A and B are shown apart, each in its own frame.
Chain A
Amino acid sequence: MSKLVTQRAAGESFVGPAVEARGLVKHYKGRDGVVEAVRGVDLRVEAGEIFGFLGPNGAGKSTTVRMLTTLLSITSGTARVAGVDVAREPDVARLRMGVALQEAGLDARQTGRELLVLQCRLFGMSADDAASRAQELLELVDLVDAADRRIKGYSGGMKRRLDLASALVHEPQVLFLDEPTTGLDPASRLVVWEEVRRINGHGTTVFLTTQYLEEADQLCDRIAIIDGGRIVREGTPTQLKTELQVRLGLDDEPSLDDVFLDATGRTRERVAGVVREVGA
């Protein structure tokens, strides 16, 4: 790790959970009245964990992440990231977290290097420090050769890696990744998984949303499943599988898919039926 990053990370230690939400609620005003997107979410993610946040489409995953990352106001409840209340001190919280949202949010007209330098400057670095940190990150995500090309020419995997790098410019203590591998080919997905493990290996807590249960099974220390704006399961993948096996008296260990389907009230038949209908 560079001297620059070590210095920055040194002054930002915190005690307690990396992410803590209590009674988190989000209501929107919709055309048909108030929409209750998130209805009282309690979460606790310990420092150093890779935490998986799963749920079907529209369950409240992204809304919860957007509240935790200061991008969305909180209707009620509290949320702390790296010990900082995100509603009361959003700028302090932003200094401690890195965010890579659902679709790689990049400016296609910039080059990869320009984007990273800009991101570094926005986190308060001088021009020289920003240039050297950008170079470090480009090397880290293996984009040195493409660094001075416009982002619009990057592949999906390259964009994801650049997005990930841009979330790491300030060596955050908590990294939020919203569906980081959606739309990637299997090889690119493995690269991102390795990167997430490596980042976590340096002590960064990772809060990951995903629709891929295999991804959660491979990467996450603990997971929570949200459905209808409420947490319906929480634990380690092994705990959740064992609980289901015991409860249903199954001979074989169920998969995380089975846990997910059970938790969200869905069945394989129903899901398959929906797929058939769409296919027709």
Chain B
Amino acid sequence: MSYTWVLGRRALREALRTPEALLPTLFIPMFFLVVNLGQAGKIFPSSTTGFLDGQNYGAFQLPSSMLLAASFGTAALFLVEDIEGGYFDKLRSSPVPRTSLVLGRLVAEVVKGLGIAIVLVLLALPFGIHVASGFVGFLLLIALTALWAVVYVGFMQLIALKTRSAAATNSGGLIFFPLLFLTPNFVPRHMLTRPMEIAATCNPVTYVMEALRSLILQDLVWGRVLTGFGVVGALGVVMVMLNLRMIRHYD
């Protein structure tokens, strides 16, 4: 774990020293939150819209923004830079467990994800959005967002390690991106058209979004919350296993 943490700290330093890569992860999700609230806020007034549980439409949209913020995968692009620049070989030539080489970045992603989630919730407060599930719910909210970031970066790292190309990693990330929108993004799942509802039901991201949303709009609904954590946990295990397999066979 110490090697992983040493490498994780280096990845965090890298992120902090690249604000031009960090700021869009906050700005773009906030932009979508404001735009979506502006466009649909009047269609779904809090007084007559049951699924908002008394909050405004921004509260319904916040989970989408949080998932978007956690799905930039910039850590994988930094990994490609390391590979292309030769620094990854420098790290590989040290007697560090191969697992630490990929886990270091994933640990850093957890910390980064927590920070981004906290900032987004704070930025949402002036829009009248609050976390209805209280302090415990707030902690679960940022934890689930950070774990999602690990899943997404894990996926991006797989592409990075396989292709060793920034262009391919960027493009490869887009394959996953539509899954973020094949969800009950604007309205609850039962209000979607039947084909969209089926697609959203098959999409694991839906359950993460619904868990986040329940934490913002309602008191602790453990069934939803645990389902969200279960999905993220399962995907996280798969991504970590695939990353470890990839690094062990990296030539």
Contact = CB atoms under 8 A, between A and B. Distances in A.
Interface of A: 69-73, 91-92, 94-95, 97, 99, 101-110, 114, 118-119, 121-124, 150, 163, 166
21 contacts: A70-B92, A97-B93, A101-B89, A103-B86, A105-B85, A105-B87, A105-B89, A106-B85, A106-B90, A107-B82, A107-B85, A109-B14, A109-B18, A114-B10, A118-B6, A118-B10, A121-B3, A122-B94, A122-B96, A123-B95, A166-B90
Nearest to A163: B90
Given A121-B6, A122-B91, A107 B96 contact: no
Given A94-B94, A124-B95, 11 more contacts: A71-B93, A92-B95, A101-B86, A102-B86, A105-B87, A109-B18, A110-B14, A119-B90, A119-B94, A122-B91, A123-B95
B103 to A, nearest CB: 14
Contacts, number: 70
B17 interface: yes
5 smallest CB-CB distances across A and B, nearest first, come from A105-B86, A122-B94, A105-B90, A99-B93, A94-B95
A123 B92 CA distance: 12
A106 B87 contact: yes
Contacts of B92: 70-71
- Classify the secondary structure of B's interface with A: helix
A160 to B, nearest CB: 12
Contacts of B13: 109-110, 114
Of the listed residues B10, B13, B85, B93, the one surrounded by the most CB atoms of chain A closer than 10 A to its CB is B93
Nearest to A96: B95
Contacts of A72: 251
Given A109-B14, A110-B10, A94 B93 contact: yes
Contacts of A122: 3, 6-7, 91, 94-96
A107 B95 contact: no
B89 A107 contact: no
Contacts of B96: 122
B251 A73 contact: yes
Nearest to A105: B86
Interface string B70-90: 000000000000100111111
A114 B17 CA distance: 13
Contacts of A104: 86
B222 to A, nearest CB: 41
Contacts of B89: 71, 99, 101, 105
Interface string B1-36: 001001100100110011000000000000000000
A69 B92 CA distance: 10
A123 B10 CA distance: 15
Contacts of B251: 72-73
A70 B18 contact: no
A121 B10 CA distance: 11
A163 B10 CA distance: 17
Contacts of A163: 90
